[in-house]
Structure 1
Amino acid sequence: MYQIHTDLAVESRELYKEREKREVPGVEVEKEEEDNYTVTRVKIVNEIGMQSMGKAIGTYITIDVPKLKKTDEDLKDEISQLVAKEIKGLGKNKEDSKILIIGLGNWNVSPDALGPKVIERVLVTRQYFVNYNKEIDETVANVAAISPGVMGLTGIETGEIVRGIVEKINPDLVIAVDALASRKMDRISTTIQISDTGINPGSGIGNKRMGLNKDTLGVPVIAIGIPTVVDAATMINDTMDLIVGSMKNEAQVGSEFYSMLNEISKEDKYSLIQEVLEPFMPNVVVTPKEIDLIIDDLSIIIANGLNIALHPGIDLKDVNRYIR
C-alpha cells in the first residue's frame, strides 16, 4: 500500500473511499456549504472508524476556503468569526477555564511558522489573574501562551516542554496550533482543520513526535492547523492527473500517451513517482513561494478566531482595532 502523507481527517476519509468504494464505517459526516466556504464535520465514533481512518476517536472540522490564499479583509473577518464559532461549538472551554495555547513549529522556517506567528497575536491574560488573585473575569479568560520551538532548536522534545508547563500551571484546556501537510495541492493554505483529539507534531511529513492529547497531558486538547506543504510526489501525481484531464477535455482520448497514463492506477503511479524521485530528492516537501505573506494572513485569522472564542468580552471590532 502506498503512503500519502496527510494530517487532514477529511483526506483520510477520501483515501478510504477511493480505495474501498464506500463510506468509512464508524464515521459520521456532516457538510455545510456557504458562498465563501465549506465546512465538513467528520466524527469518528468508534474503534472501527478509528482503525479505518488511522485517527483518534473524536470530531474533526474542516473549513475549506478557496480564496483564503488571496483573501481580503472582509473574508478574513468572516473566517475568523467562523473559526471562533467552531471552537466554541466543541464545548471544551467554560467561563472559568484556564487555557494554555501552544504555537507549534519552527519560527525560522516560514511554512512551519504558523504556530509561533499565532502566539504573537493571541491575547495573553494569565498574568493579570495571577497578580490580582482572580479566578474569573467577565471580559477576558485566563489565557497563557507559548511557542516552545522544535527539537532541532532546543534539544528538547516539544511534548516534554508542553507537559512540564501543563504540570506547573494546571490549565483546564490546551489549544495547539500547527502547520499541517496535505495530499492535495489545492488545499495548501486554503483549509483549516479544528479537532478535539489533540495532535501529533510532524506526523503529516512522516516525522512523528510525542503526541499532545488528553492521554499525554491529562487535559483536553484542541488542535488547530492549516496545511502549508505537500510532498513532491503528491504534487507531481496531481500534475499528471491534470494532464490526463486536459487531454480528455481536448479530445485526445485515443492517443497512446493518454492511454498509458490513464491505465496506471493511482497507487502504482504514486509509487513510481516516489521511486524515480528517491535518488534525487527524497522526502522533499513543497510550499508556495509567497508563503511568508500567506502565513502572516493566516495567523491573523486563527489568532482572531481564538481571541473571539475564548474571551467573552472580545469581539471582531476589538481584535481589528488592537490585535493585528
Structure 2
Amino acid sequence: MFKIKRTDLAVEFAAELSEKGIRMTEELQNGVKATCVTVGKQGERLIGKPAGRYITIHCENDPDKENKASVSLALAHYLNRLLKPVASRETVLVAGLGNEWITPDSLGARTVHKIPATAHLSGTREFGELGLRPVAVLEMGVMGQTGLESSEYLHSISKSLLPAAIILIDSLACSDLSRLAKTIQLTDTGICPGSGVGGNRTAINKYNMETKVIAIGVPTVIDLDSIAESSGEACMVTPRNIDSVVNGYGEIIAMGVNAALNPALSREEAEMLLCR
C-alpha cells in the first residue's frame, strides 16, 4: 500500500505514482532544471493533494551561491504560465504567510517585504509612464498573532480588492533530505497553511477565494519520522544556515514575482518604490 508522506511537495510522489493519475515531465528554463507535475483526480485521491499543476524548480546550490538572476527568471516564466489567462493590467494580491519571528516559517514575510506595492499608485504619472500592474502586498502573520483564520482574513480583503489572482508565499515541509532548501514549488492549487507540519488550517484556494490562487514555497523543514516513531513525538529539522537560506530564497522569489507582474520595472525602480 502506498504510504502518504508528510510533505508539501508533489514531486516527492510523482516518481512512485507516474501511472496512477500523476504525470511528470522535466524541463530546462534559463539553464535551470524544473519538474512539472500534473495531478489528476485519481492522483488526488491517492496522495491527498489537490488536483492541479505543480512546478518544482531545482536549485543545486544554496541560494546565497545560486545564480539568482537565472532562477528568478525561471520562476517568473512558470509563474506567468500559471497566471494565464490573467491580463497584464489586472490587479494581483501577493500575500506572505507564516510567522516572521520563527526563522524557518518566515519566508512569506521576508519575501513580501521585497515586493513593491503599486495598486495605490494607479492614476499617478509614474504608474502610467512605467506601465505598471496594480499589485497589493500583504503580510498575513499566523492565527496565533492575529486571532484570525488566514483564509477568512484573506477572503475579506479579496472581497474588497477583487484581484484577478492571489499569489501566496509560504514555507513548506519535505520528506527527502536532498530537496530541503534546494527547491521552489509553484502550484495553482493554493495551499493549506501548516499541513506539512501537521497543522489543520483551512485551505486557501480558488474555491473559497473565488479567484485564481497560486502558491509559491520552499521546503525549510523536514519531518524525521523515524525519530518521531521511536520517541513518540513529532520532530522537524531545519538547515543550520536557515537564516541565510530564507533571506536568499526571499530575494529570488521577490525578483521572480516582480519580473512576472511588472516586467517593465527595473530592480532599481522596484527598490525605489519600496523606499517610498
| Residue of structure 2 in register with 1:265 after alignment | none
Contact 1:93 1:310 (8 Å CA) reproduced: no
The answer to whether 1:5 aligns with 2:2 is no
Deviation track 1:262-297 (CA, whole Å, cap 9, x = no partner) reads xxxxxxxx4xx433121xxx1221111211111111
**Deviation by residue 1:230-260 (Cα, 9 ceiling, x = unmatched):** 0233xxxxxxxxxxxxxxxxxxxxxxxxxxx
Q: Secondary structure at the match of 1:108?
A: coil
Q: Give % identity.
A: 33
Q: CA deviation at 1:31?
A: 0.4
2:121/2:127 contact within 8 Å kept = no
Q: Tell which deviates more after alignment, 313-322 or 77-86.
A: 313-322
TM-score, normalised to structure 2's length? 0.90
Separation in structure 2 between the aligned mates of residue 133 and residue 76 of structure 1, nearest angstrom: 32
- Aligned equivalents of 1:171 and 1:35: distance in 2? 30
Task: Give the superposition deviation at 1:320.
Answer: 7.9
Q: Note if 1:41 corresponds to 2:36.
A: yes
Once the two structures are superposed, residues 175-225 of structure 1 have per-residue CA deviations (whole angstroms, 9 ceiling, x without a partner) of 000000000112111100001111111111110211111111000001100
Answering whether residue 104 of structure 2 is matched by residue 111 of structure 1, we say yes
Name segments (4+ residues, structure 1) moved above 6 Å. 133-137, 320-324
In our comparison, the structure showing a higher alpha carbon Rg is 1
Alignment length (residue pairs): 273
Corresponding residue number in structure 2 for 1:189: 181
- 1:287 corresponds in structure 2 to 238
| 1:302 maps to 2:256 | no
Residue identity matched to 1:84: A
Q: Shift of residue 133 of structure 1?
A: 11
Q: Cα distance 1:36–1:68, how it changes in 2: closer, same or farther (>3 A)?
A: farther
Residue 232 (1) aligns with residue 224 (2)? yes
Query: Whose helix fraction is larger, Structure 1's or Structure 2's?
Result: 1
Distance 1:274 1:295 in 2: 25
Instruction: Give the drift of 1:145.
Output: 0.7
More strand per residue: 2
2:12 maps to a residue whose letter is E
For structure 1, list consecutive stretches of 5 or more residues without a partner in the other structure.
Answer: 234-269
Give deviations 1:290-324, integer Å, cap 9, x for gaps. Answer: 11111111100000000000013125675588879
RMSD of aligned Cα (Å): 2.6
Amino acid at match of 1:166: S
CA distance in 2, matches of 1:35, 1:132: 35
Asked whether the 8 Å contact 2:14–2:23 carries over to 1, the reply is: no
> 2:201 is matched with which residue: 206, 209, 217?
209
Matches of 2:89 and 2:73, distance apart in 1: 22
Residue 95 of structure 1: how far off its partner (Å): 1.6
